A and B are shown apart, each in its own frame.
Chain A
């Protein structure tokens, strides 16, 4: 039933986005009842929250928003081509990608935060193990191969770790999760940045690749001695054992919604007033910050070609950054810190609604 609905929505989206492409120059105000008012495409990670937002917002205002969760890369491509009204991405667009966008400058609107957690399968452990960035990097680059390695045991006094091999499981598909995880290791561990680096897919020195969060989690659950990384929301909903990670202040933190928001608050303090929000908040300062955190963004054009649609989009984003934020924690997404949400809303005011072509 759900698959049917999704298929129907996708068909609708295709039909509407074509229509949008044809009519876009003639500022059409025909988006009436029954049709979709705004279309978007992009990241799969925030999709559960966004779909709740869209259905709530449609109930409140009658504005229908269709979103295709095709992945950040696809969202960026479609926005650049102008086939959707907004894109969504888990990693900020590069300068190169920004230059290629056909509709002019693009604004990054952070909506909520996500986190990546390290999950493991060590039989017999009851308390979460603690790891540092260095230890995680050494494990994922194959420099630590046994659980009983002193570089792990020294971080976990009083915990008996087995002498078995570590099996590294990473994502095989291009993913914002991998980007956030490798971005963290790149920022926190110099050796990692010079050997593996960061990206949606990287050249992993060791380990197995599995497709999707469910693939990584499945492989880790099944294999004693395995370690992997998944999104916080996924790990919490499936009750996976997560490692506590030492943050920049030296405190080991277990990932939670509040620890992720704290990371954003810590990073926000050093933000310049004119920031474009294309910022990474991994390894954020602050004693309560969870270090492997990141924003997820909605991408919109600064100059909206269609004043009616543009207004609807800005109104929706304003709602999302106020009332919408409250819906995030129950779904295991971290809301923006309050002072930051108001700054981002000020950014929305700079969107130009009447760009005559």
Chain B
């Protein structure tokens, strides 16, 4: 590597350079190929290890791991359906809150923001991604949960009189699916907004000018010319945020209430698969218990794979439909 760069600087030895450059190229190729192979090998070996450790539980319990709702370690039943439900619902709530916010931030920063504001706001939004999740969890316990319990939750229940609808039923203690969704939304937001901002900024100027030249207002220009052009990138960003939300452990464990029960109410406590593993792994001594936790990990692994596959497919189909 150093030889190659030294020859780049050495202008008098161009003849030699071609020959050595090809050797350098060869080495470079091998090094990058090794890097490229190590990562997939790592993913495969992790998957193999998880499924091997999960196998005893799948063999003994079968699909009841994902279909049964009874998680009772002492009684030997391991049904993680509430955790599966909680993972999907908390992530969905997070995306419902985060997506419009993040895209709004991205559109403002790329289209409307004065130049002096763009850098600091963009930096602060990105900074959200750098905060450790345990800090989010503490903030959730001491700030978010009291706020939800005293200000936010009474609003739909008492002011709008929706307390009888399934979505807002039950006592509002604070730790809940809603709290988990809000925390996850804040954590997923910087990913969605950073990617969206980049792709919006990458939309060619000609695209905007053409729309304006046709008499479009600014809003019509963004809606009809900019966003469709950037759509596949924005979807990619949303999927990145979803990936973050599905796997998040610490912050969610601290605010979701850790109750393995399926409830339609956003005010009810829930559980996620990542929290279940984090809570029980360190004290699991019984073999079937350990294996069942690994099985939950395997299911989470498969779900993230599916989400990534869907993301790929969405990005692909959106960019193809635009090409037509």
Contacts and interface: CB of A to CB of B under 8 A. Distances in A.
B285 A73 contact: yes
B283 A211 contact: no
A118 to B, nearest CB: 19
Contacts of B146: 222
Chain A's interface size range is 20 to 34
B285 A97 contact: yes
B5 interface: no
A215 B278 CA distance: 14
A223 B175 CA distance: 10
Contacts of A17: none
Nearest to B275: A172
Contacts of B173: 167, 208, 223
A208 B285 CA distance: 24
Contacts of A174: 73, 279-280, 282-284
A203 B282 contact: no
B19 to A, nearest CB: 46
B71 A203 contact: yes
Interface stretch (A194-202, A274-282, A310-318): A194-202
Given A222-B145, A222-B146, A72 B258 contact: no
B70 interface: yes
Contact of A73 (B149, B171, B254, B282): B282
A71 interface: yes
Given A203-B70, A208-B258, A215-B254, A222 B174 contact: yes
Nearest to A204: B259
B74 A203 contact: yes
A219 B70 contact: no
Interface in B247-288: 253-254, 257-259, 269, 271, 275, 278-280, 282-285
Contact of B283 (A200, A203, A218, A223): A200
Contacts of A167: 171, 173
B292 to A, nearest CB: 12
A352 interface: no
Contact of A74 (B141, B175, B279, B282): B282
A222 B141 CA distance: 9
A262 interface: no
B262 to A, nearest CB: 15
Contacts of B253: 172, 211
A209 B73 contact: no
A114 to B, nearest CB: 16
A77 interface: yes
A198 B171 CA distance: 28
Interface string A249-262: 00000000000000
A235 B115 CA distance: 54
Contacts of A70: 282
B74 A172 contact: no
Q: Name, among B74, B141, B283, the residue most crowded by chain A CB atoms within 10 Å (CB to CB).
A: B283
Interface string B60-73: 00000000001111
A83 interface: no
B75 to A, nearest CB: 7
Interface residues of B, number: 30
B283 A71 contact: yes
Interface string B144-167: 011001000000000000000000
A83 to B, nearest CB: 15
Given A172-B253, A172-B275, A222-B145, A202 B73 contact: yes
Nearest to A44: B282
Nearest to A223: B173
Contacts of B74: 197-199, 201-203
Contacts of A204: 259
B141 A172 contact: no
A173 B250 CA distance: 12
A173 B283 contact: yes
Nearest to B279: A173
Given A201-B73, A203-B75, A209-B257, A73 B283 contact: yes
B198 to A, nearest CB: 35
Nearest to A100: B287
Nearest to A182: B74
Nearest to A225: B173
Contacts of A210: 175, 254, 257-258
A291 B157 CA distance: 42
Contacts of B72: 202-203
Given A208-B269, A215-B254, A223 B174 contact: yes
B79 to A, nearest CB: 11
A237 B76 CA distance: 36
Nearest to A167: B173
A215 B251 CA distance: 12
A199 B218 CA distance: 63
Given A197-B74, A209-B271, 8 more contacts: A197-B75, A199-B74, A200-B283, A202-B72, A202-B73, A207-B259, A208-B173, A211-B254
24 contacts: A71-B282, A165-B171, A172-B275, A173-B278, A174-B282, A175-B283, A176-B283, A197-B75, A198-B74, A199-B74, A201-B280, A202-B72, A203-B74, A203-B75, A208-B175, A208-B257, A210-B175, A210-B258, A211-B278, A211-B279, A218-B142, A219-B141, A222-B146, A223-B174
Interface of A: 70-74, 76-77, 97, 165, 167, 172-176, 197-204, 207-211, 215, 218-219, 222-223
